[in-house]
């Protein structure tokens, strides 16, 4: 079937093509410039981070050996052959993992309560003073930018070893992270119920209680659950600095080369994290489904 293809005359396509090539060349030049810059950054960073590929090559077998080694018992049998021997400290470790979960729970709960109290004052639509809002925002920013392990280090010195500094560190970090998210949720509400509550004679607090909280509660709970999930991971390493939980046993096992203990604790930890992830995901979905339903 013959097909008529409409083409511009040569005299018109030529300048267009030339312009196209100029644009293309510019883009190519920009790409090459970006690649060169990236390579330069990689080079500088490699020198700074003391990257040593030769050593990595020499020792990479250590990594696979290590991963392999943690799956052998003292008597050189595979761990799977003797579960009793592999998980010899099951009761102790489960208790410690329970403690880890409790640290994460208490830290999340206290941090979320703090964030709940402050988020209305830090949101753009409900705050009464611009200045106090600015101050609250900076405080929240500070609390979430400083890593929780730094707080844990500080608190271990101040409060002594044990789970208490771990809980406080997680609480502070959660407070900062959730405060920001909560304030954003509050900023996205429908303001009509607030106006309704106030126009029918409600006070500021009644407006928040009856017009704002019902709108934001399920989102708050969902974010808090997500944070709990993150905090379980965070709490698992709190023991590295002496702030309680399973991390203490783990770092001890790694440092003292109790190979099969390392794998046993890691397996328990990964299973716990997966279970918590699944559980919170279910809860969050049902929360959001309820939100959609009403």
Partner 1 sequence: MSEEMVRTKIKSIFQATDTGKPRMDFFPDRAAVAQRHPGLMKPSHQSRIITTLVLGGMLALAVFAAYRLEFSFARLGAGLGQLKTFLGLMVPPSSGSYFPLFAKALGETIAIAFLGTLLAAFFAFPLGFFAARGALGNWLTRFFTRRFSDTIRGVDTLIWALIWINVVGLGPFAGVLAIMTSDIGSFTKLFSEAIEAVDRKQGEGVLSAGGTKLEVIRFGIIPQVLPVLLSQMLYYFESNTRSATIIGIVGAGGIGLHLSEMIRTYEWDRVSFIILMVLVTVAAIDWLSTRLRLKMAGAQ
CB of 18 to partner 1, least distance (A): 23
Is the Cβ of residue 94 or residue 102 nearer to partner 1 in the bound state?
A: 102
Is the Cβ of residue 12 or residue 58 nearer to partner 1 in the bound state?
A: 58
CB of 23 to partner 1, least distance (A): 13
Is the Cβ of residue 22 or residue 41 nearer to partner 1 in the bound state?
A: 41
CB of 120 to partner 1, least distance (A): 12
Residues 163 and 103 sit within 8 Å (Cβ to Cβ):
yes
Could you give the C-alpha distances from 257 to 66, 218, 253, 262, in angstroms and in order? 10, 46, 6, 8
CB of 71 to partner 1, least distance (A): 13
72 beta partners? 78
Residue 166 makes CB contacts below 8 A (sequence gap 6+) with 103, 107, 152, 155, 235, 238, 239, 243, 244, 245
Is the Cβ of residue 118 or residue 189 nearer to partner 1 in the bound state?
A: 189
Is the Cβ of residue 78 or residue 150 nearer to partner 1 in the bound state?
A: 150
- C-alpha count within 13 angstroms, C-beta hemisphere, residue 272: 26
Give the count of beta carbons closer than 10 Å to the beta carbon of residue 267.
15
Q: Report the alpha-carbon distance of residue 246 to residue 238 in Å, rounded.
A: 8
Give the count of beta carbons closer than 10 Å to the beta carbon of residue 246.
27
Q: Report the alpha-carbon distance of residue 174 to residue 148 in Å, rounded.
A: 9
Q: Which residue has the tokens 């600015």?
A: 134
CB of 127 to partner 1, least distance (A): 8
CB of 15 to partner 1, least distance (A): 25
Is the Cβ of residue 79 or residue 237 nearer to partner 1 in the bound state?
A: 237
């Amino acid at each position: 079937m013959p097909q008529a293809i409409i083409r511009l005359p040569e005299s018109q396509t030529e300048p267009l093509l030339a312009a196209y090539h100029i644009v293309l060349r510019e883009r190519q030049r920009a790409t090459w410039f970006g690649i060169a810059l990236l390579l330069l950054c990689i080079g500088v960073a490699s020198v700074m981070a003391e990257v040593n590929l030769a050593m990595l090559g020499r020792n990479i077998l250590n990594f696979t050996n290590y991963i392999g080694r943690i799956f052998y018992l003292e008597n050189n049998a595979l761990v799977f052959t003797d579960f009793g021997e592999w998980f010899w400290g099951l009761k102790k470790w489960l208790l410690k993992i329970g403690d880890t979960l409790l640290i994460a729970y208490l830290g999340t709960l206290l941090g979320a309560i703090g964030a709940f109290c402050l988020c209305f004052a830090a949101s753009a639509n409900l705050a009464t003073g611009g200045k106090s809002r600015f101050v609250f925002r900076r405080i929240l920013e500070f609390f979430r930018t400083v890593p929780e392990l730094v707080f844990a280090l500080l608190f271990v010195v101040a409060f002594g070893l044990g789970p208490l500094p771990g809980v406080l560190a997680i609480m502070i970090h959660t407070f900062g992270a959730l405060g920001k998210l909560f304030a954003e949720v509050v900023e996205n509400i429908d303001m009509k119920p607030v106006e309704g509550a106030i126009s029918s004679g409600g006070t500021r607090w009644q407006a928040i209680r009856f017009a704002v909280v019902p709108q934001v509660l399920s989102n708050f709970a969902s974010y808090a659950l997500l944070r709990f999930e993150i905090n379980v991971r965070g709490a698992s390493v709190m023991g590295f600095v002496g702030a309680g939980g399973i991390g203490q046993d783990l770092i001890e096992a790694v440092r003292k080369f109790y190979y099969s203990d390392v794998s046993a604790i890691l397996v328990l930890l990964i299973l716990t994290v997966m279970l918590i992830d699944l559980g919170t995901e279910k809860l969050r979905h049902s929360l959001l489904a309820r939100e959609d339903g009403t």
